[in-house]
Amino acid sequence: MISHTLRLVIGTRIDPVALLSELVTFRTDVVEGHERPLADRLAGMLRGYGADDVIVADVPRATGKAASYVYARFGRPRVLVNAHLDTVPPNADWSADPFVPRIDGGRLYALGAADTKGAAAAILAALAEARPVDTGILFSGDEESTSVAMKAFLASPHRIGIERAIVCEPTNLRAGTRHRGIASFEVEATGPGGHSSLADRLPSPIAILARLAVALDDWARAHRDVGPKGFEGMCLNLAKLDGGVAFNVIPAHARLVVSFRAPPGADIAAIRAELEAIARAVAPSTTLHFTRENAPFATRDLASFEPLLGAAARTPIDLGFWTEGALLTAAGIDAVVFGPGDIAQAHGPDEWVALDELHAARETFIAMFRG
């Protein structure tokens, strides 16, 4: 274990693999893990690297277990570098303990190795060699759930003055500049219920929602060509229609679950209004409520990131997954997504990150911090 309890001399060479081997032993998955112990550990490291200010904050969650973030300020930050602390729960079929790092074939295997503790290790290793100027380092929790930590940070005074952000996710060290949003909603229909012999006279909640489901599907089909190239369509998914207890009982309640993935540039509020209007027209007796409204993401000024990311900013890629970059851009902070690892390894058993990408990520952050 590497000790960072004392202030370090900038220029110390630290292996990001060794750092990552420690970070993955902290259980921070959203179900059984806790983020605060890792946040405290990182705060100690950041103080050792000579940050002007380090704060650790807990943010309430609906589940009752707090999310945490740690923020370090170097100067007056205009650039933010962010990686998330939390992971998904361990998937089934891991071949070994997901919280014990294993190195084999040029890869480090552990939960969170790619998503995104590998990026955190690279950032920390870079800080040992270069003190950034006017930069904030944010390690935030709850990214895999409801993003309450990032939302709390953006609502705090700490975000004042920040113009650009590097949001770390596994992109194989390429600059991700666009991705879809994701939103979900539920529609409920109720009725008196009763004996099926009365089905011709009593309302059917399932039939009401089935008609609405068809109308929503028709809307989605009419929007299949909407959106920029590579992101056409709304990806509306009729995920679930349930209700009832037996073949001879008219249900008193039914529920329709729907999601959609709006393309970059789309207005989530406008789409929501369209879908609510369809529900009012087709099924006026129903109630509709949104359970998630994550906006799409698009980098506004990629050229401004070239001094930070070098060649990576000249070869941008589109992303197939949502990131908190969308929250930053919505708050007026331009962002790109960048980090070691491949999204194909994230959230699955035997997650891994390539060791050479960890070292390359450290070099990119060193160059960034040196300016």
Assigned CATH class of 182-294: alpha beta
Q: Where in the chain is the domain with CATH 3.40.630.10?
A: 16-179+296-370
pTM: 0.91
18-76 tens-digit pLDDT: 999 999 999 999 999 999 999 999 999 999 999 999 999 999 998 889 999 999 999 99
What is the C-alpha to C-alpha distance for residues 152 and 69, in angstroms, rounded to an integer?
A: 9
pLDDT of residue 20: 98
DSSP 96-148: S-TTS-EEETTEEESTTIIIIIHHHHHHHHHHTT---SSEEEEEES-TTTT-H
pLDDT of residue 371: 84
pLDDT of residue 3: 42
Question: Which stretches of the chain drop beneath a pLDDT of 50?
Answer: 1-8
CB 209 within 8 A of CB 256: yes
Which residues are 172's β-sheet partners? none
What is the C-alpha to C-alpha distance for residues 361 and 113, in angstroms, rounded to an integer?
A: 13
Q: Supply the residues annotated as catalytic.
A: 143
CB atoms within 10 A of CB 286: 20
pLDDT of residue 11: 63
Q: Where in the chain is the domain with CATH 3.30.70.360?
A: 182-294
Which residues are 367's β-sheet partners? none
CATH superfamily of 16-179+296-370: Zn peptidases (3.40.630.10)
